[in-house]
């Protein structure tokens, strides 16, 4: 814990309470309210955790006003340009950029864990073919604890590390199998001669009937999407993983909980919702109608891919993603993609509209990721599974960090109770 030389004073009635203030390495100061209830008999109220630091962390820092995202201190735009996903995984897991031999060993370990237990193939066949791949991923990842119980002892550091490697390695295989199953094609086994992103594309798009060559530009774009989604401080799904972990649940159960939370359209499901919105808008001439709906308080419609709880400036990931979108669409000769044309016009119209400027609503990471994934040939139902695959390293890094925190306690928030006070039971005859 950083220095507590500063103190906050809270006065309630004629009592004043002293609350320690912690100064982080960067970002806003934090007031420690842990003793507030025992000292003053009051709770604080923050249902969306807009002003609540739920943990200590050294992994990722976001400055929403500057549009900054750092992983272990390294800016996301530098990592997206100079690094690659498995190196970022090492950085998030271990806290430093690996030397060449460390990286080689790590990549070899991940590569050799990419297959899943053959018995798990039967799981997929128990789902309907038209099940959403996220439903399949929640089920299969949760079931991993039934197959890999030799890495579920959360008090054993070696088992924690093996579980981390297994999850990072097997998530692309599981996501690809969910996709293949949904389109009635045979599963494609991982290949150790391909790198992480190329292997995922090969498992998704190869068929036994012919050779499938992964285009290196698409593999690079895929790897960049993985990197841009790897971790993001204490977002909803990461907080879900931390809360599940605080009860002592095994790593596979915790990650399955994170996948379930990410699925929501306000969170990781936004990339699918964004593309469906762009297709519903159809042509740029209908953009004003949708902008008006997004501003109408009586209309629940929101511009998917816009806005963010923390970023009140451009999401730095969206900036990189936009560059990638142009590269991929140029390569695939779909630079005239009507969806991209609508996306670019929508972005221009929204950024020029005072409503979005006042509310600091900018395109977020989900705005362009869907366009790239669609151009690559993924159906919209696979957009969030790709996000979940990418975010697994963030979830598991935060999970490991929390388990190593001596201050860790089971997460158990309280409430502002507005219900009935005590009253006696009424027999049915008297109601």
For ligand SDX, the binding residues in 39-78 under the rule CB under 6 A are 48
Q: Which two tokens stand for residue 357?
A: 């400027």
366 catalytic residue (yes or no): yes
Residue 72: left if φ>0, alpha if ψ -120 to 50, beta else—which one?
A: left
Among 58, 57, 59, 77, residue whose Cα is nearest residue 67: 77
* 292 touches ligand SDX (CB under 6 A): no
Phi–psi pair at 303, nearest 5 degrees: -75, 110
C-beta closer to ligand SDX: residue 166 or 308: 308
* 232 touches ligand SDX (CB under 6 A): yes
Query: Which segment (168-176, 183-191, 359-367, 409-417) binds ligand SDX by CB under 6 A?
Result: 359-367
Length of the chain: 431
* 366 touches ligand SDX (CB under 6 A): yes
Among the listed residues 308, 326, 353, 424, the single catalytic one is 308
Query: Which segment (167-175, 201-209, 215-223, 267-275) binds ligand SDX by CB under 6 A?
Result: 267-275
Among the listed residues 165, 366, 405, 427, the single catalytic one is 366
Binding ligand SDX (rule: CB under 6 A), the pick from 92, 174, 214, 303 is 303
229 catalytic residue (yes or no): no
DSSP-derived secondary structure for 318-367: HHHHHHHHHHHHHHTT-TT-HHHHHHHHHHHHHHHSHHHHHTT--B-HHH
Query: Which segment (34-42, 53-61, 96-104, 307-315) binds ligand SDX by CB under 6 A?
Result: 307-315
Burial of 23 per CB tally in 10 Å (0-12, 13-18, 19+): middle
Query: Which segment (127-135, 177-185, 321-329, 358-366) binds ligand SDX by CB under 6 A?
Result: 358-366
Task: Give the C-alpha separation, 365 to 371, whole Å.
Answer: 11
C-beta closer to ligand SDX: residue 271 or 337: 271
For ligand SDX, the binding residues in 325-354 under the rule CB under 6 A are none
Q: What share of the chain is helix, strand, coil (3-state, %, to 5)?
A: 55, 5, 40
Residues that bind ligand SDX (CB under 6 A): 48, 232, 235, 266-268, 270, 294, 302-310, 359, 361, 364-366
Catalytic residue list: 308, 366
């Amino acid at each position: 814990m950083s220095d507590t030389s500063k103190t906050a004073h809270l006065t309630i009635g004629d009592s004043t309470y002293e609350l320690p203030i912690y100064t982080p390495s960067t970002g806003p100061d934090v007031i420690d309210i842990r003793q507030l209830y025992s000292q003053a008999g009051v709770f604080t109220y923050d249902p969306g955790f807009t002003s609540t630091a739920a943990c200590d962390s050294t992994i990722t820092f976001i400055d929403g006003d500057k549009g900054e995202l750092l992983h272990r201190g390294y800016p996301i735009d530098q990592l997206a340009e100079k690094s690659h996903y498995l190196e970022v995984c090492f950085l998030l897991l271990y806290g430093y950029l690996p030397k060449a031999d460390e990286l080689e060993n790590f990549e070899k370990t991940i590569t050799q864990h990419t297959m899943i237990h053959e018995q798990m193939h039967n799981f997929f066949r128990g789902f309907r073919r038209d099940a959403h791949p996220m439903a399949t991923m929640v089920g299969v990842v949760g079931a991993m604890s039934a197959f890999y119980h030799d890495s579920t002892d959360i008090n054993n550091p070696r088992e924690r590390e093996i579980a981390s490697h297994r999850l990072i390695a097997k998530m692309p295989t599981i996501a690809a199998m969910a996709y293949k199953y949904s389109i009635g094609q045979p599963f494609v086994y991982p290949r150790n001669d391909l790198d992480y992103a190329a292997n995922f594309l090969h498992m998704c798009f190869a068929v036994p009937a012919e050779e499938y060559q992964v285009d290196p530009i698409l593999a690079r774009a895929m790897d960049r999407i993985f990197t841009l989604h790897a971790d993001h401080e204490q977002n909803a799904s990461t907080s879900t993983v931390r809360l599940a972990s605080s009860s002592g649940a095994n790593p596979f159960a915790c990650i399955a909980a994170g996948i379930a939370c990410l699925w929501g359209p306000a969170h990781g499901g936004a990339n699918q919702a964004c593309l469906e919105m762009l297709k519903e808008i159809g042509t740029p001439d209908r953009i004003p109608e949708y902008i008006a709906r997004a501003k109408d308080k009586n209309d629940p419609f929101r511009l998917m891919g816009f806005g963010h709880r923390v970023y009140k400036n451009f999401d730095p990931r969206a900036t990189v993603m936009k560059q990638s979108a142009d590269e991929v669409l140029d390569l695939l000769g779909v630079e005239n993609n009507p969806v991209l044309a609508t996306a670019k016009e929508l972005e221009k119209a929204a950024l020029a509209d005072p409503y979005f400027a006042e509310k600091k609503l900018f395109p977020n990471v989900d705005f362009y990721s869907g366009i790239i994934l669609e151009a690559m040939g993924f159906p919209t139902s696979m957009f969030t599974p790709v996000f979940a695959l990418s975010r697994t390293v963030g979830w598991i890094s935060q999970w490991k960090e929390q388990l190593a925190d001596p201050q860790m306690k089971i997460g158990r928030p309280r409430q502002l109770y507005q219900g009935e006070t005590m009253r006696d039971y009424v027999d049915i005859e008297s109601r």
